[in-house]
């Protein structure tokens, strides 16, 4: 990118940019009661006492008590002034001090996040273990995790939490399913949060490992007889800096975005507190909770970027990073394996009526007449799954495409996007939906606007991390020395290195986008029942999971198939006409040896140790 597009590296400017973004978010939240086009006094009265008559004198008394007559600007200034003295104000609903409640909720959420991150790391290791073993031992092309990881990553957290609470906690009685009283109460919610996050993180790492194993240092290490465990560890270290920004996003997401899990397991966490404050328009609690998430996002983002620079060492400064190898994706029949059943289910469902009621056939088990059974109103589940796919998948594809475009563009400007990513990631999706509703109003496309407003953040973080490493490669310095201009470098070097992995990342998040859209619709921020969106189907049938599990398993299986299809199709994503630089891109018909012959020839000619630019001295 041209130098004039880059912000200066002065720490003061970065801090100022971050402060401007955080201040804008806090101001938007401060205006939420007025943006929502409702009377804040009426909302507070309903939250305090739903049965009390909203007489004009009662509402006037509440306005005088809360200072609503002075306007939002005065309230925001008063809150900031109190915050400067360590006072976050008092709740509009309960009248209790805000700061102790927020600190206590933050502590619970951080404890849950730590346990969930431990589960996520173990899950990520399990997902990419086969690729590490095959790649380090040179046992053919490294195998990539596919459908299984995608299915786990696409399962909604509230569904996983409900199944664990019902089966493990209630029916089997192995672990407590409700409350927050000790370490045993931490296990089930940590599994519900950590397993899907670990599957996504492991799939991202698994996507980068084949390129690391194709680099010359890996061939040289194999030729010298370096143990496979050390080669695998070095490959993980080579790929890990590109994933650290997303790991920082996971930290914040598991802290403030675990609303559904906290509700199911009755955990007094920060996400649950913030959601309740947003619904009740309890402005002091909402602002304090959001400020805590902003500070956590800034700390996690800074720690992730610092650790990435520490792992890469001076190669970023000297431009001496090993040129990345991008193996050509192989052909696979897995998209057909997952796509054909999904299309068959959708096609069969479209031939049926999703709104036909038969109260005599409520909660019927699967049969020839109803292959997926019926729901609590006697409606055919297959029909609802098929018709729900139209709106759910269309909106999810549109939002994912918009998020990919925004993420790549902002990822090319990491100095600008870094603070923006941290700020956006601190907003729970439900709160983003409430803010969008306040500005644009409620409607069928409101969930799409809300999800698109936050879905680009992980893609921008991933693109920025890859771009930082690509700019520090030796081949880019050589190309620049030959007279290549910024546009040539952008088109022929930077974008080909960034677009394929970020596109695969976007496809991996497609099921989560579809679920987020439907979940916001269920909360009343978009499409309403009886619309057969997949998320609505899950939420509507979840109370009947014990009596009619098929009503929940059908939309969950459709989401899982969608995730597996997206990931298997993403394995073939590459730029047209673009060939990788690594040995794994060599093949018949291009005048060079096949990958296996080239690797054997490289290994046989190695006589001296070759050190990876990003590795520890003397290791590989």
Residue 492: what pLDDT?
81
Residue 493: what pLDDT?
81
Q: Residues 342-348: contacts with CB within 8 Å, 24+ apart?
A: 342/558, 342/561, 342/562, 342/565, 345/382, 345/385, 345/386, 345/558, 345/561, 346/385, 346/386, 346/389, 347/386, 348/382, 348/386
Query: Which three-class secondary structure state does DSSP give residue 277?
Result: helix
**Helices 414-425 & 228-256 angle (0-180, nearest 10):** 60
Query: Which three-class secondary structure state does DSSP give residue 97?
Result: strand
Comparing 68-77, 114-123, 366-375, the range with the smallest average pLDDT is: 68-77
| pLDDT over 90 at 619, yes or no | no
Structure tokens at 303: 């720690």
CA 148, CA 423: separation in Å to the nearest integer?
A: 32
pLDDT digits (tens, 9 = 90+) for 355-383: 888 888 888 889 998 999 999 889 999 99
- Dihedral (C-alpha) 384, 342, 449, 512: value to the nearest 10 degrees? 110
Structure tokens at 335: 């998209």
| pLDDT over 50 at 305, yes or no | yes
| pLDDT over 80 at 73, yes or no | no
Average pLDDT over residues 472-493: 80
Average pLDDT over residues 566-592: 48
Residue 189: what pLDDT?
92
pLDDT digits (tens, 9 = 90+) for 416-427: 777 788 788 777
Residue 588: what pLDDT?
35
Average pLDDT, the chain: 77
Place of tokens 């987020």: 516
What residues have CB less than 8 Å from 320, skipping those under 6 apart? 314, 472, 474, 613
Scored b (16 or more CB within 10 A) or e, 91-112 reads bbbeeeebbebbeebbebbbbb
- pLDDT-based confidence at 600, cuts 50/70/90? very low
Sort 148 into a burial class: Cβ within 10 Å, 0-12 / 13-18 / 19+: middle
pLDDT digits (tens, 9 = 90+) for 256-280: 777 778 888 889 998 888 878 877 7
pLDDT digits (tens, 9 = 90+) for 160-205: 787 788 788 877 888 888 888 888 899 999 998 898 888 888 888 8
pTM over cut 0.85: no
- pLDDT-based confidence at 115, cuts 50/70/90? very high
Q: What are phi and psi of 197, to 5 degrees?
A: -65, -40
| pLDDT over 60 at 610, yes or no | no
Contact (Cβ atoms closer than 8 angstroms) between residue 209 and residue 326: no
Residue 220: what pLDDT?
85
| More confident of the two residues 614 and 302 | 302
């Amino acid at each position: 990118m041209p130098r004039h597009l880059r912000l200066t590296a002065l720490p003061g400017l970065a801090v100022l940019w971050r402060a401007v973004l955080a201040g804008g978010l806090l101001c938007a939240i401060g205006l939420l009661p007025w943006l929502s086009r409702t009377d804040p006094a009426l909302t507070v009265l309903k939250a305090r006492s739903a049965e009390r008559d909203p007489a004009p004198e009662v509402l006037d008394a509440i306005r005088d008590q809360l200072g609503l007559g002075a306007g939002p600007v005065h309230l925001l200034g008063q809150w900031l002034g109190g915050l400067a003295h360590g006072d976050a104000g008092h709740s509009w609903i309960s009248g209790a001090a805000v700061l102790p409640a927020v600190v206590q909720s933050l502590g619970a959420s951080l404890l849950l996040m730590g346990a969930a991150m431990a589960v996520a790391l173990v899950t990520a290791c399990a997902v990419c273990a086969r690729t590490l073993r095959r790649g380090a031992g040179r046992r053919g092309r490294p195998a990539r995790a596919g459908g299984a990881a995608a299915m786990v990553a696409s399962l909604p957290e509230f569904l996983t939490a409900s199944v664990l609470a019902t089966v493990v906690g209630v029916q089997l009685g192995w672990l407590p399913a409700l409350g927050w009283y000790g370490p045993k109460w931490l296990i089930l919610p940590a599994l519900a949060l950590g397993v899907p996050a670990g599957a996504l993180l492991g799939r991202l790492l698994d996507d980068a490992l084949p390129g690391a194993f194709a680099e010359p240092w890996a061939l040289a290490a194999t030729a010298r007889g370096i143990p496979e465990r050390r080669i695998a560890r070095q490959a993980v270290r080579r790929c890990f800096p590109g994933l650290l920004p997303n790991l920082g996003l996971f930290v914040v997401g598991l802290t403030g975005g675990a609303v559904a899990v906290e509700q199911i397991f009755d955990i007094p966490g920060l996400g649950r507190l913030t959601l309740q404050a947003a619904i009740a328009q309890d402005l002091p609690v909402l602002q304090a909770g959001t400020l805590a998430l902003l500070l956590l996002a800034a700390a996690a983002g800074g720690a992730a970027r610092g650790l990435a620079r520490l792992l890469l060492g001076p190669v970023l400064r000297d431009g001496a990073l090993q040129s990345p190898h991008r193996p050509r994706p192989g052909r696979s029949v897995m998209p057909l394996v997952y796509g054909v059943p999904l299309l068959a289910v959708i096609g069969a469902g479209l031939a049926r009526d999703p709104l036909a009621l038969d109260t005599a056939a409520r909660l019927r088990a699967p049969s020839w007449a109803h292959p997926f059974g019926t729901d609590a109103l006697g409606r055919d589940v297959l029909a609802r799954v098929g018709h729900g796919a139209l709106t759910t998948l269309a909106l999810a594809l549109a939002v994912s495409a918009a998020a990919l475009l925004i993420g790549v563009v902002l990822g090319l400007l990491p100095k600008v996007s870094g603070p923006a990513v941290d700020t956006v990631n601190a907003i729970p999706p439900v709160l983003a939906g409430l803010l969008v509703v306040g500005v644009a109003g409620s409607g069928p496309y409101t969930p799409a606007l809300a999800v698109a407003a936050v879905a680009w953040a992980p893609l921008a973080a991933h693109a920025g991390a890859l771009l930082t490493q690509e700019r520090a490669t030796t081949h880019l310095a050589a190309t620049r020395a030959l007279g290549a201009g910024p546009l040539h470098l952008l088109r022929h070097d930077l974008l080909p290195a960034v677009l394929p992995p970020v596109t695969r990342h976007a496809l991996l998040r497609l099921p989560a986008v579809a679920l987020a859209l439907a979940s916001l619709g269920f909360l009343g921020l978009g499409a309403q029942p009886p619309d057969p969106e997949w998320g609505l189907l899950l939420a509507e049938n979840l109370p009947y999971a014990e009596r009619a599990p098929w009503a929940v398993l059908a939309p969950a299986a459709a989401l899982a198939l969608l995730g597996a299809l997206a990931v298997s199709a993403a394995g073939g994503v590459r730029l047209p006409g673009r060939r990788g630089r690594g040995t794994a891109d060599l093949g018949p018909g291009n005048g060079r040896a096949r990958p296996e012959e080239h690797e054997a020839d490289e290994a046989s000619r190695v006589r001296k140790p070759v050190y990876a630019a990003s590795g520890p001295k003397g290791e590989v």
